[in-house]
Amino acid sequence: MHALIHLFFSRGEASTLLLYILLLSDIIAIAQVPAVLLHRRGRPVAALSWLLAIFTLPWIGILMWWFLGRTRLQRKMRRRKQRSQEFCACLPEGVHLASQEVLSQFQGLLPQSITTEQQRAPFSLSQKNQVQLLVDGEQAFSAMEQAVSLAQHYIHLLFYIWKADQTGTRIRDLLIQKVQEGLEVRLLIDAWGQPKHARNFFAPLQQAGGHVAYFLPIRLFSQPFTLNFRNHRKLMIIDGVTAFTGGMNISDEYQSQWRDTAIKITGPATVQLHEVFLEDWFFATHQNLASSGYLTPKTSQESTPKEETKTIDEVACAIIPSGPDGRTNWCHDTLFLALSSAKHRIYLTTPYFIPSAPIIAALRGAAQRGLDVKIVLPQKNDQPLVRIASHTYYETLLNAGVKIYEFEPSVLHAKTLVIDDNISVLGSANVDIRSFRLNFEISCIFLSKQLARQLVDSFHKDLNNSREITQQNIGQLHQPYSWLESAAHLLSPLL
């Protein structure tokens, strides 16, 4: 930098102007140091990465920090007491929140702040739920469309991406039909996942009387610091009785090209999932639907599920919402506690793998204790830089005894975890820094031997279509772009 300043100092007015620009960038960069240290407190590697970017890439690094560097978002929420009262009032007769026995089974799996303070999701533990595992797009979209067709009162949806393809058009038109039948339909879409130029796709739904809102619209001048905060949740709630969640967006890709998993839930957990939607809708629109009775489940007809997606009864469930609007990274802490509690096996599937140091330690520690620890990751990925960065974690995990596989037939997008023989985790969160700290995510922890068995069967099918990564062939992954891996690993705190 000083050499450049000296070079341009003797070249007239244009050089003097450039000198002032460079000096101004240095001053602004220095002014960002306290903010970087404050926002990355406790994460020295991330802080150093940002400082390196700010000082070595004048203006570019500064702009990146302004638009992408913030990790906390202030947002207005309904008062906690009000939310708790609304939730208690809406519970239908005969359903049960978690008993002491169920609470004891979740002991050690959940952060204490969830079970005691209940800051974000009142009464986040429940029992007597029914669940139905949907192991691919064909099953998931079929079940979703069937549930929408049977809806009698309202349909509330929250998705990160909704594409204007055959699948997206078919489900949109089904929603239009339900609006025309007199039902209320509300759709919340992330503003980054649904670019502005694609929003005309929902005009027919709005013209029919449906409501469409966008989460954190991108306004570079009025709220540039929110660009990095995205709502990555996937939720569908039918009449407050039936809910769907998981990793699937609405797109043809999930029908055939991508491998993903979703789950259908009925029972008190559905009310909790709905509470998450209503909170996000309140933030996006300032409309408090809970005060209008939308948390109260309505009577809704249910059809007999197909044999291949048999319903599992009596499932205990914890709903874990997480996002940059809280001081606790609940998805991360819950994943760490679940991994640390394992006694026999850990089967993890995730499309994006940039784990934190505690997650790496939990995986390594489990393998070194003799547990069966297997991870399935994608061989094909829609985020090449993230995939390359993932490779840098392979060796340290393999050395500890963790077995790593790469799924080959298609893009793997499922986010599932099985611990021992009765604990399952499924939701929208990936094992990466973005999901842990920047995205609004939702995870569901289930206690059910039958559900865990189904997920294990699905995991083994994926293993049969995957290549195991060993110490012998790990060098082949590094050879073509070892320098790029090193750069991606350096940037991993920013991804």
In a domain, 474, yes or no: yes
Q: Is the pLDDT of residue 408 over 80?
A: yes
Structure tokens at 11: 């070249």
200 shares its domain with 161? yes
Q: Is the pLDDT of residue 189 over 90?
A: yes
What number is the average pLDDT over the span 420-426? Answer: 96
Query: How far, in Å, CA of 32 to CA of 60, rounded?
Result: 13
What number is the average pLDDT over the span 204-229? Answer: 80
What number is the average pLDDT over the span 219-240? Answer: 79
What are the C-alpha distances in Å from 81 to residues 16, 117, 273, 329, 365?
60, 12, 18, 22, 40
Structure tokens at 452: 């865990």
62 shares its domain with 165? no
* pLDDT at residue 192, as a whole number: 86
Secondary structure (DSSP) of 308-361: GG--EEEEEEEEEEE-TTSSS-HHHHHHHHHHHH-SSEEEEE-S-B---HHHHH
Q: Which of 265, 282, 313 is the last residue of a domain?
A: 313
61 shares its domain with 90? no
What are the C-alpha distances in Å from 376 to residues 258, 430, 455?
14, 13, 13
Structure tokens at 32: 């960002």
C-beta of residue 309 within 8 angstroms of C-beta of residue 144: no
Q: Which of 282, 313, 344 is the last residue of a domain?
A: 313
Q: List beta partners, residue 115.
A: none
The residue whose two tokens read 């007199």 is 182
361 shares its domain with 391? yes
86 shares its domain with 50? no
C-beta of residue 297 within 8 angstroms of C-beta of residue 271: yes
Burial of residue 203 (CB within 10 Å: 0-12, 13-18, 19+) is exposed
27: enclosing H helix or E strand: helix 12-39
Query: How far, in Å, CA of 446 to CA of 429, rounded?
Result: 15
- What radius of gyration, in Å, describes the C-alpha atoms of the chain? 24
Q: State how many domains the chain has.
A: 3
**pTM of the predicted model, to two decimals?**
0.83
Bridge pairing between strands 312-322 and 416-419: unpaired
Domain that holds residue 192: 80-95+128-313
Q: Which of 313, 342, 376 is the last residue of a domain?
A: 313
In a domain, 211, yes or no: yes
357 shares its domain with 308? no
Q: Mean pLDDT score of the chain, rounded to an integer? A: 81
217 shares its domain with 348? no
159 shares its domain with 297? yes
Bridge pairing between strands 154-159 and 184-190: parallel
Minimum mean pLDDT among 63-72, 136-145, 367-376: which range? 63-72
* pLDDT at residue 17, as a whole number: 67
C-beta of residue 415 within 8 angstroms of C-beta of residue 428: yes
Angle separating helix axes 60-68 and 12-39, nearest 10 degrees: 30
In a domain, 107, yes or no: no
113's CB contacts (< 8 A; 6+ apart) are 119, 328, 330
263 shares its domain with 405? no
Minimum mean pLDDT among 87-91, 278-282, 399-403: which range? 87-91
378 shares its domain with 483? yes
DSSP for residue 431: B
Burial of residue 426 (CB within 10 Å: 0-12, 13-18, 19+) is buried
**Residue-wise pLDDT tens digits, 86-121:** 555 555 544 456 667 777 778 778 776 555 544 444
